[in-house]
Amino acid sequence: MVIHFEGILDGTTATLIILSSTIFGLLSLYKSIKLKAKLLTIAALMMFFVGCLWLGPTVDFFMVLLSGENISPIEVYSLLSYLWVAPALIFAIWLGGELIFPKRKWIFVGIFIVLGVIFEYFLWFQTDASFTWELVNPGEDLIDAHFVRTHPTFLMIAVFLVSALVFLGIGFAIKAKQSTGQLRRKFTYLSIGNIIFVLCGALDSILTIPLAIGVVRIVMATFALWMYLGLKT
Per residue in 79-134, pLDDT (tens digit) is 999 999 999 999 999 999 988 888 899 999 999 999 999 999 999 999 999 999 99
CB 10 within 8 A of CB 53: no
Q: Which residues contact 48 (CB under 8 A, 6 or more apart)?
A: 21, 22, 25
Per residue in 54-71, pLDDT (tens digit) is 999 999 999 999 999 999
Query: CA-CA distance, 7 to 16, in Å (whole number)?
Result: 14
Per residue in 5-29, pLDDT (tens digit) is 899 999 999 999 999 999 999 999 9
Which residue in 86, 102, 55 sits closest to 160, CA to CA?
Answer: 86
What domains are there in the chain, each with its CATH number?
5-231 (1.20.1070)
Which residue in 105, 84, 87, 94 sits closest to 39, CA to CA?
Answer: 94
pLDDT of res. 3? 87
Query: CA-CA distance, 227 to 169, in Å (whole number)?
Result: 11
- With 80 as the cut, is the pLDDT of residue 233 above it? no
pTM: 0.93
DSSP single-letter state for residue 166:
I
